[in-house]
Amino acid sequence: MAATVEFSGPYFDGRLDAYADEMDRGIEHDVAQQAMAEWHRNLDTSLRHPTGFYESHITMRISASEAFVTDLGVIYGHWLEGDGSRNSPRTRFPGYWSARRATAQVQARANDLAQRSVGRFVEKVNDGA
């Protein structure tokens, strides 16, 4: 009598790719959300006379292939960041570097930020869904 072996679960029924895509989207969302929060926090500690206009334009965008944070192209965003043509040495204002600092802060925490999505992925792959 021949033994029959049945394979089932996410590895064999096509759910693995969907779970991996869901994990990727979750990580991108969590990292972008934290980047936006850090950018706002950096501006809160840097801006001397905030009007709220610039801060209101810092937002997270999610597309089919990525999640990212942008200032929506506010005309003086480069000047505030310090990479505009009217920053030092041309003027005394060096910029706040708030987006760059946020990037470094999030990169330092990227593994921690990914843990929630990776944990859900592992649970689903182990057929806990």
Q: Return d(Cα 96, Cα 14) in angstroms, integer.
A: 48
pLDDT tens readout for residues 33-67: 999 999 999 999 999 899 999 999 999 999 988 99
31 assigned to some structural domain: yes
| Domain assignment of residue 2, yes or no | no
80: how many CB neighbours lie within 10 A of its CB? 21
The pLDDT value recorded for residue 65 is 86
**Tokens 């009007």 sit at which residue?**
51
Give the pLDDT score at 126: 87
Q: Whole-model pTM?
A: 0.85
For the chain, the domain total comes to: 1
Residue 34 in domain: yes
- Predicted local distance difference test score (pLDDT) of residue 128: 60
Q: 112 in a domain, yes or no?
A: yes
Residue 9 lies in a domain: no
Asked if residue 90 belongs to a domain, the reply is yes
* Helix pair 98-125, 15-46: axis angle to 10 deg: 150
Write the pLDDT tens digit of every residue in 95-126: 999 999 999 999 999 999 999 999 999 999 88
Residue 30's domain spans which residues? 14-125
Mean pLDDT of 20-25: 94
19 falls within a domain: yes
Q: Which two tokens stand for residue 16?
A: 């693995």
